């Protein structure tokens, strides 16, 4: 199976290195009703395939496909409890940055509402050298269900857009990378989709850094923010690099900045040194055993805010690392985030509370 998949705006384009692979792909596409899919397993002879479908409203299903007989058999739904009719559409969007760069992203609007003057949660991805793609995202669906439009964007440095786009992010934490996010907010406001007084920012890891950077470097844009295991200090972040990252340290210096050679740059881009600019409420969540973004990153931010007389809700889970995995902790976090956004943005949380009563 020799194929090459390339992400464009939202779905994948496939390029085939042989006619046999193209024929198999086309046969699968017709049998699966045009749904997006990928091959998740294959036998040694490459004639028995395990195929996985996916959409923006469910986690899809697994199928067994025999390339010799062209027979396909459904094995199991991945998430049969999800009602796709209740899920929101994840639509591809593009906008232009202040320096003329085209940014691709995704906009999810809550179902059954007029897409005008909505509360919005801006959700920059982690990495930062990763990307958001089209497909089912439980966080996004959770937020859309609560009445929020959700904006995801592949800011400069995101993968899948070529080397030049990636290199434009070098030493641009808190700068043009952050501008790409801010320009997405301005685009939503100009389109009339976002209520300019009800825009929040939420992200994890680099997305957590982008949240802190958003509240410090463009405080006028956001009504509140949620920082989930995010970086606050680029000096201590690089000093706490785990042992398995050591081979990549020089690459990190080139891509983010060197602690000595680029000290002014790193200080300027570290939110912890600019907490006096924060005017919006902030919720912080952190795993105590995080090896990638040390707990000290969140501790510093909370301490700096307290010194300014600002009380910030701070959730620390002792049995978690880089992101919460235990179910009870995830319930706690998303419950706290739901109430935090309702308090500062409004939304459907009040209606849900009334329904329960």
Look up 290 and say whether it is catalytic: yes
- Candidates 58, 205, 240, 298; catalytic one: 205
195: pLDDT strictly greater than 70: yes
The predicted model scores a pTM of 0.90
For residue 336 the two structure tokens come to: 């706290």
Which residue blocks in 191-233 are alpha helix, DSSP H?
206-217
- Candidates 104, 125, 322, 344; catalytic one: 322
Look up 344 and say whether it is catalytic: no
Distance CA 238, CA 259 (A): 8
Report yes or no: 161 and 183 within 8 Å, Cβ to Cβ: no
State residue 12's pLDDT score: 65
Q: What is the CA radius of gyration of the chain?
A: 22
pLDDT tier at 8, thresholds 50, 70, 90: very low
DSSP state of 41: E
Distance CA 93, CA 236 (A): 36
50: pLDDT strictly greater than 80: yes
Look up 205 and say whether it is catalytic: yes
Between the alpha carbon of residue 183 and those of residues 200, 253, 282, the distances in Å are 14, 27, 21
CA atoms within 13 A on the CB side of 94: 7
- Candidates 169, 232, 290, 344; catalytic one: 290
Q: Which residues contact 9 (CB under 8 A, 6 or more apart)?
A: 92, 94, 104
Distance CA 153, CA 92 (A): 10
For residue 76 the two structure tokens come to: 């199991």
Domains of the chain: 3-77 (no CATH), 88-356 (3.40.50.1820)
């Amino acid at each position: 199976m020799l194929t090459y998949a390339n992400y464009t705006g939202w779905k994948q384009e496939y390029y085939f290195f042989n006619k046999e692979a193209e024929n198999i792909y086309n046969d699968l596409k017709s049998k699966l009703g045009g749904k997006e899919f990928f091959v998740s397993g294959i036998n040694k002879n490459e004639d028995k395939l395990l195929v996985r479908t996916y959409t923006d409203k469910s986690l899809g299903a697994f199928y067994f496909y025999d390339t010799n007989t062209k027979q396909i058999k459904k094995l199991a739904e991945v998430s049969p409890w999800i009602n796709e009719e209740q899920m929101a559409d994840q639509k591809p969007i593009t906008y232009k940055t202040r320096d003329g760069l085209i940014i691709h992203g995704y906009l999810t609007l809550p179902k059954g509402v007029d897409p005008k003057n909505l509360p919005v949660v801006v959700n920059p991805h982690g990495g930062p050298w990763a990307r958001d793609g089209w497909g089912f995202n439980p966080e996004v669906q959770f937020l859309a269900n609560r009445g929020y439009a959700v904006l995801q964007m592949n800011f400069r440095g995101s993968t899948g857009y070529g080397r030049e786009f990636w290199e434009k992010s070098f030493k641009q934490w808190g700068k043009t990378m952050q501008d790409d996010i801010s320009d997405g907010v301005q685009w939503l406001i100009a389109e009339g989709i976002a209520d300019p007084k009800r825009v929040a920012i939420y992200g994890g890891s680099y997305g957590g850094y982008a949240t802190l950077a958003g509240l410090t470097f463009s405080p006028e844009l956001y009504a509140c923010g949620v920082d989930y295991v995010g970086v606050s200090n680029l000096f201590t972040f690089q000093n706490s690099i785990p042992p398995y990252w050591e081979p990549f340290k020089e690459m990190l210096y080139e891509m983010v900045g060197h602690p000595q050679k680029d000290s002014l740059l790193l200080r300027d881009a570290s939110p912890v040194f600019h907490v006096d600019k924060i005017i919006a409420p902030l919720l912080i969540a952190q795993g105590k055993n995080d090896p990638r973004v040390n707990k000290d990153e969140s501790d510093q931010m909370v301490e700096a805010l307290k010194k300014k007389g600002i009380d910030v809700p701070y959730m620390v889970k002792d049995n978690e690392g880089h992101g919460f995995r235990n179910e009870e902790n995830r319930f706690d976090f998303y419950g706290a985030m739901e109430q935090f956004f309702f308090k500062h943005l409004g939304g459907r949380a009040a209606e849900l509370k009334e329904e329960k009563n």
